[in-house]
A and B are shown apart, each in its own frame.
Chain A
Amino acid sequence: MSGRDGDTAARRGGGRRAALGGIRDPFAPWAAPGAEPLVRFESVVKRYGAQTAVDGVSLDIYPGEFFALLGPSGCGKTTLMRLLAGFETPDEGRVLLSGEDLAGRPPHKRPVNMMFQSYALFPHLSVADNIAFGLKQEGMGKAERDVRVEEMLALVKLEDFARRKPAQLSGGQKQRVALARALAKRPSMLLLDEPLAALDKKLREETQFELMRIQQALGTTFLMVTHDQEEAMVLADRIGVMQAGRIVQVGRPMEVYEAPASRYVADFLGDVNLFEAQVASVEAPHARLTAEEAPGGFRVVDEDCPAPGATVWLAVRPEKLRLSLDAPAGNPENTLAGTVWDIAYTGDWTNFIIALPNGRHIRAAQANANRRVARPIGCDDTVWVCFDPDAGVVLTQ
């Protein structure tokens, strides 16, 4: 079920990419003809008693990808990762690595390594011994091991900390040791469980770029679990959005943000204003919608719009709304009247909350592009909100 959703979502996203005007990024192993996935989840189900943690997930992850599983806590994303690491066994379906079924293979015999959310560094071992732990299990000789440990320490820039114990490291240093330890065996795939959750904001941003640098330097396939949409957008080549044990959309960060498959996805990734509307007419690539809140109706660019008469939702992101104090002439499309209910200045952006005549609140955001420009819009002002035809996206679910 969700697998099919994922496929259609990916197709929809793929079909729209030209219209979205994405960043030029030739890296798309999932789109290459005849590409073999590194990891394949086949209709995987995992239950805990009466609860279904993973509910029929089918997903392919390709070599060299940085894939992020994104969802709120309890959506099954960590369980999915633990199924791959071997800490859980699926109740139904299969997990394949390079085409081989992993069923019955214990964690210590799987060529994937995991970076734990709590880092799980061995407190009785030094940094170097922590990194060497997996190599020792492999039976690698001491000389070779030392070289590899040096290499890993250099990769995470901790050369001077080899002899320290984990208790003597800061949170960011521990995170890097955990990363080096998980990468030391050169796994075919690295699993990252909320890798940055324990770091403060500034460090998190630095570490994001560090993770990307390391992933690109090694070419290892990364699978990350996170509840932080910004983290997923910055790091991942593709994002799989999860909801209640299912994958509801898979796509590039821009696809899931600009062309969400559902109201759930639109709302989970960033802020969104949703308007319930009826399809009035479809003249590809444009569609006209009628809605209670917009006297002039909506006109949007959407190639997959359902037939006239259907009830849909129009999703428009706050940063795509424009505000004006001047009343427009006539009764134009994509325009709503309202009063400013609250203003939040956050430095880079100013967020407006606008009360519509029917009492609903919508959000608009404006970049603060200049320092000293007058900001004429104040609280309780009557404003007109409008947006471009390709700013909104029509959602059917």
Chain B
Amino acid sequence: MKALGKAGSKRIGWPPLAVAAPFLWLAVFFAFPFLLVLKLSFSHPALAMPPYAPKMDWSHGLQGIGDFLKALSGVNYRRLTQDDLYFASYLSSLRFAAIGTAISLLIGYPIAYAMARCGPQARRLLLMAVILPFWTSFLIRVYAWIGILKPEGLLNAGLHALGLPGIDILNTDGAVYVGLVYAYLPFMMLPLYAALERLDPTLLEAAADLGASPTKAFWSVTVPLSLPGVAAGCLLCFIPMVGEFVIPDLLGGPDTLMIGKTIWTEFFSDRDWPSASAVAIILLVTLVVPILLYQRQQARALEAQR
């Protein structure tokens, strides 16, 4: 018994390289930059290169570290609470992301459902069609929407050809929604498709056999069993939408308020790196909540499968 325990502990002692690799990746590309931004958020702007102070002075050893830590302050965070702009930006971003996600779900669910119901041949083709846009640069695709939505663009040309009045949608919140839904729809559809495709069609037969009409069977069997896909799709859309910068910048108007744009302005127009970092840290904390929810849901889904 003892020998067995020893052998077991030996096997899990040091993680093999395969396990270490993702941790190393996270440390270099996530934890280290995050700590840099965190440190920056407690600094204050300065006319220098780079434009913030204090800077760590390694030549003074421990004394230098102490001085450095003493010079840090939470003043940037206090500023965030004093200026309504930031709060409004966060709220507006969350609203954009929530509504964009909801529209994506409403459009993505029927498409994913139809895809899952197709024959295997058509299924492969449609799946390819969903993934294909990724072969073009994201930026170019968003630019293309300017060509479609601008006053003399394709959309209005089409409306005029039908004898309808044109609409002025470019540089409004409406255009931002179009861009968000367009860009993130595949992230909604793919997990939904995966969940719906796994659904055993005999379950629907069983529901029909027990007296459920096709509509009732859809709501009482298909929808509940696709909820893990809905959750995954919503979070995959919502999280990047909140921090989206390119779409509001290119398609949105001067009044379009999104946190990604605010961070950009702080960094590059105002050259206030510490404030921008504080805004970014708050954004990260805001997003950690849905990410944790997502992970908990995924873990539960895994457990349910077992």
Contacts and interface: CB of A to CB of B under 8 A. Distances in A.
Interface of A: 85-87, 106-109, 112-114, 116, 118, 120-124, 133-134, 137-138, 165, 167, 181-182, 185
B203 A120 contact: yes
Nearest to B306: A167
A108 B225 contact: no
B221 interface: yes
Given A107-B205, A120-B205, A137 B304 contact: no
Given A87-B208, A122-B206, 5 more contacts: A86-B208, A107-B208, A107-B209, A123-B225, A137-B212
Contact of A137 (B203, B210, B214): B210
A124 B224 contact: yes
A148 B289 CA distance: 43
A180 to B, nearest CB: 12
B205 to A, nearest CB: 6
Nearest to B208: A107
B111 interface: no
Interface residues of B, number: 22
B207 to A, nearest CB: 7
Interface of B: 200, 202-203, 205-214, 216-217, 220-221, 224-225, 304-306
Nearest to B202: A120
Given A116-B205, A118-B202, A124 B210 contact: no
Nearest to B201: A120
B224 A106 contact: no
B211 A138 contact: yes
A108 B202 contact: no
A167 B305 CA distance: 8
A233 B212 CA distance: 34
5 contacts: A85-B209, A106-B213, A120-B203, A134-B210, A137-B216
Q: Which 8 A-B pairs have the closest CB atoms?
A: A134-B210, A137-B211, A120-B206, A107-B208, A120-B202, A108-B208, A124-B224, A114-B209
Contacts of A86: 208
A87 B211 contact: no
B210 A118 contact: no
A175 to B, nearest CB: 14
A141 B179 CA distance: 48
Nearest to B305: A167
A138 B214 CA distance: 14
A123 B304 contact: yes
A88 B206 CA distance: 14
